[in-house]
Structure 1
Amino acid sequence: MENIYRIKCGELINIRAKFTEFKNELCPTSVAHLPQTYEDVKELLDIRSGAEEELLEDSISLNNLAQPDDIPIFDVNLHDLHAKPGQKSIEIPKKAMRLRCMRHRVEENSVRYHTNIPRKYNRYRYIEHKIDNTDESCDLVPLEEILITVRVYEPFVYKRGEGTARKPRLSQEFVVLGRQELTELRDKIYCHCQFGPFKDISNDFESIKNQETEPPEETNTNREDDFGFFFIADTFYNDDRTTKTDYTKEIREWMSRRDDIGPAQVKSMQNVKFEDLNVRVGYPQLYRHYVNCEHIISFTDIRLLAPDDSLKSTDYPLLRCVSSSKMTLCQVCGIIEATFTVKKSNAHIQDPVFLCRNCLISFHYIDGKKVGNFQAFRYYGNRPIIH
């Protein structure tokens, strides 16, 4: 596959082998364990006197790297940027308040501007996690576990032979342990396809009228009728917990007939740990589920567990950030979030069009009867549910 999609990135590595070699270089055979605290460093270097300790502190002090014209360094908590953005209210002119649409807008939502959030940080919503490593349930040892950062991108439709100017948009970012199986990450990935299959409900007015506006809260996005797989490097990792049917067989047969792609292997997802994978850091891989819903995934960071990370294995896979994509507003009123998608309707300029429940009913139904020809489907948006 890399012969087709060439990209400049790191070499193909086996995570377990690479970090075993790395830890051996950090920790000689004469040392029982890697030093984690300052006291461990003193014991390792056999420093006991106060003079030797002061000399060590002076030699490793960051002040040795300081320059007179250095820019001051400030601690930035990305979560706090969004939690407390320092919003500034905008005073609306009295003439503007004569408009009914403006008065309605003020009643629905207060008009505010975010004034101090850098644009590059405004793309994502960083999740705040309360870390308490003094708890007795902490079962992980720093510098002994591998942490892997996995990015999952939103799906988009690609048609062969047609270019696309849309860049992949991040949906979620997870931190997983090297000891965890691929199924543990798969069960955490959010996708609005979990609420399907989506059927045309335009003829069922009562269903539309009584439809809940919020999506159902589900912690496990893996349904029994959903077959999914990861394609990483040259291997398909199938989730065969619910079915033994291999839906990648035809894909692998096609790949084997291509000289520029080559054959692919197949393994069970629940029998493979992340540390056993062969990956290229930053190289796009594939996650596919619900028949034809495809997500690009990538491994962006691999490192050892640090003392200030969560030391509870139950906290992983850890959702670190999600896309801060704005809600899709109704394209008729422009105020309420869209909860329906309307297709093949001559009454709209666009196809499809996103509508809220009130606009769908008032625009396409009279006394509960469908007016014209169109199709209506439920729409839950692409914003991940954070539990």
Structure 2
Amino acid sequence: MDTIYNIPKSETVSFRKFLDEFVNELKGTEFPKNDEDVQRLIGMQSKNSEYEKVKSSTSLEMLDSPDDVRVAPYVPGVNEFKRKTAKQNLTNDARLNSLQKLIKEKEASAGSPFIKTRESFKQVHKPVSPENHNLQPYSDVVVSIRFYRPKTDTPLKRRTYPTFSEEFQCLGSNFLSELRDKISCVCNKRRFFELSNNPRVENPEKLSDPGFFFIENTFYNDMRNPTNADYSEVIREWSAKKAKGYEKLRFQTRSMEETRFIDLEVSLGFPQLYQHHGNCEHLFIFSYVELLSKHTCLVRELYPLLKSVNTYNAKFCHMCGKREYAYVVKNSKRQLHDPAYLCSVCFISFHYVNGKKVDEFNAYRLVSYKEKLDDHESYTVEHLEVFDEIEDDLDDEDEPSPSKMIKNEAETAMK
């Protein structure tokens, strides 16, 4: 990783050692719980009047003043102050050509899903009432983990860089498998296969779901399902026989469902790897470790806790730019992008005529055929009915076609 991403590796940190050292420091420390404890610790047991003067003079209320300038806390993605547009900032005395062109450019791109802002991710807040707290402060560590999409080389030889995806906070007592269950990815639902000749066929359900975390030369495999394959086996065999310069390196293997975060020793800020669904890779780093305190979430059931998410994780259709994509098209000479991400409307209307495939391409669907793929079901149904008429070899003749099912749901909703 250090040679690929040019990131120096720092010394490893043991989460268990970090917690034990702090607990040992706390054993000889007394924390005051009330005014009597504070008065005793500062040596004013019998000086009540003097203690009250000291207490009033050091009150936090003394820091407030009605003349103070209001400072609003900045939270990425959550901003109560609306920024003024270029047009609102424009005055009659400063009608510059550069500002006029800027206004026209912004008006032309208004509403486009591809435009980014300075607030590229948002924090997720989970307000919880104190009566639901079931964790004691300083009893555990909280580890922040940030996930990224890895860099790739495009067909035009332009290299993309890792892009932030989402951030979690995990307790030291959490298992690695608990984090894996909360990682979002389009590959989590079903297995994908080529369906351009029959776009109505369903994707097969997952009977197994192998994957691993690669952390500090150790593969943590998900073996909760007995049918899960060990993805790391082929990598370990390759490194032992064919990897030049790494013949002496011996990778370890453990089960993620039996490993807690408190048992790890990691290098903070150094890229690690999560891989599943064959070759679907996610980079992640351990960005921060802190002690569980009264300022952090004290509800065990919420961990691993999603803290922030990239607002650009959802991709839009490459053709219309209005709806989220449902199909991935590859090896098509009629598309500008490869792969191309298309919604169901654009995919069916552009690649099929009277139910027949136009030209050669490969297509993969990310959701179930029977799900509502977008907000334009009526337009989609008109094209799906072509496949319903062609496919007359259904096992059950009484079974309604997918287009009829969507139409029936729409009619029910109208009523």
TM-score w.r.t. length of structure 1: 0.72
Match of 2:99 in 1: none
Instruction: Please report how far the alpha carbon of residue 368 of structure 1 lies from its aligned counterpart in structure 2 after TM superposition.
Output: 1.6
CA separation of 1:268 and 1:43: change in aligned 2, threshold 3 A: farther
Q: Is the 8 A contact 2:124 2:308 kept in 1?
A: yes
Match of 1:21 in 2: 21
Q: Is the 8 A contact 1:89 1:113 kept in 2?
A: no
Instruction: Give, as a single letter, the amino acid of the residue that structure 1 aligns with 2:217.
Output: D
Q: Is the 8 A contact 1:155 1:293 kept in 2?
A: no
Instruction: Give, as a single letter, the amino acid of the residue that structure 1 aligns with 2:193.
Output: K
Instruction: Please report how far the alpha carbon of residue 36 of structure 1 lies from its aligned counterpart in structure 2 after TM superposition.
Output: 7.6
Instruction: Please report how far the alpha carbon of residue 337 of structure 1 lies from its aligned counterpart in structure 2 after TM superposition.
Output: 2.9
Moved more, 252-261 or 264-273: 252-261
**Matched residue SS, 1:128:** coil
One of 164, 173, 178 as aligned partner of 1:179: 173
CA separation of 1:307 and 1:355: change in aligned 2, threshold 3 A: same
RMSD: 4.1
Moved more, 169-178 or 342-351: 342-351
Give the distance between the partners of 1:278 and 1:287, measured in 2 at CA: 17
CA separation of 1:124 and 1:54: change in aligned 2, threshold 3 A: farther
Q: Verify: 1:283 aligned to 2:270, yes or no.
A: yes
One of 364, 369, 372 as aligned partner of 1:377: 364
* Structure whose residues are more often helix by fraction: 2
Match of 1:202 in 2: 196
Instruction: Please report how far the alpha carbon of residue 259 of structure 1 lies from its aligned counterpart in structure 2 after TM superposition.
Output: 4.5
Instruction: Give, as a single letter, the amino acid of the residue that structure 2 aligns with 1:328.
Output: K
Q: Pairwise mapping of residues 61-72 of structure 1 onto structure 2 (< 5 A)? A: none
Give the distance between the partners of 1:363 and 1:163, measured in 2 at CA: 28
Match of 2:8 in 1: 8
CA separation of 1:5 and 1:375: change in aligned 2, threshold 3 A: closer
Q: Verify: 1:320 aligned to 2:307, yes or no.
A: yes
Instruction: Please report how far the alpha carbon of residue 255 of structure 1 lies from its aligned counterpart in structure 2 after TM superposition.
Output: 3.5
1:182-202 Cα offsets, whole Å, 9 max, x none, are 111111111111234222222
Q: Is the 8 A contact 1:79 1:127 kept in 2?
A: no
1:94-120 Cα offsets, whole Å, 9 max, x none, are xxxxxxxxxxxx9xxx95699xx971x
1:209-232 Cα offsets, whole Å, 9 max, x none, are xx9xxxxxxxxxx96511111111
Q: Verify: 1:129 aligned to 2:136, yes or no.
A: no
One of 72, 77, 80 as aligned partner of 2:78: 80
CA separation of 1:177 and 1:89: change in aligned 2, threshold 3 A: same
Instruction: Please report how far the alpha carbon of residue 178 of structure 1 lies from its aligned counterpart in structure 2 after TM superposition.
Output: 0.7
**Matched residue SS, 1:80:** coil
**Matched residue SS, 1:307:** coil
One of 139, 148, 173 as aligned partner of 1:144: 139
Match of 1:354 in 2: 341
Alignment: residue pair count:
334
CA separation of 1:182 and 1:168: change in aligned 2, threshold 3 A: same
Instruction: Give, as a single letter, the amino acid of the residue that structure 1 aligns with 2:180.
Output: R
Instruction: Please report how far the alpha carbon of residue 44 of structure 1 lies from its aligned counterpart in structure 2 after TM superposition.
Output: 5.2
Q: Pairwise mapping of residues 110-129 of structure 1 onto structure 2 (< 5 A)? A: 119=118, 122-129=119-126
1:138-168 Cα offsets, whole Å, 9 max, x none, are 2211122211101111255469xx9863221
Q: Verify: 1:235 aligned to 2:218, yes or no.
A: yes
1:296-339 Cα offsets, whole Å, 9 max, x none, are 11111100112122211111111011111064333333333332
Structure 2: which 5+ residue stretches go unaligned? 88-106, 368-415
Match of 1:218 in 2: none
Q: Is the 8 A contact 1:281 1:301 kept in 2?
A: yes
Q: Is the 8 A contact 2:332 2:360 kept in 1?
A: yes
1:53-81 Cα offsets, whole Å, 9 max, x none, are 755886898999xxxxx997432344532
Give the distance between the partners of 2:148 and 2:257, measured in 1 at CA: 22
Q: State the percentage of identical aligned residues.
A: 33
Structure 1: which 5+ residue stretches go unaligned? 65-69, 92-105, 212-221, 381-387
**Matched residue SS, 1:143:** coil
Give the distance between the partners of 1:184 and 1:178, measured in 2 at CA: 12
Give the distance between the partners of 2:139 and 2:40, measured in 1 at CA: 20
1:333-382 Cα offsets, whole Å, 9 max, x none, are 333333222222222333332222222222222222222222222247xx
Instruction: Give, as a single letter, the amino acid of the residue that structure 1 aligns with 2:16.
Output: R
Instruction: Give, as a single letter, the amino acid of the residue that structure 2 aligns with 1:16.
Output: R
Give the distance between the partners of 1:17 and 1:11, measured in 2 at CA: 14
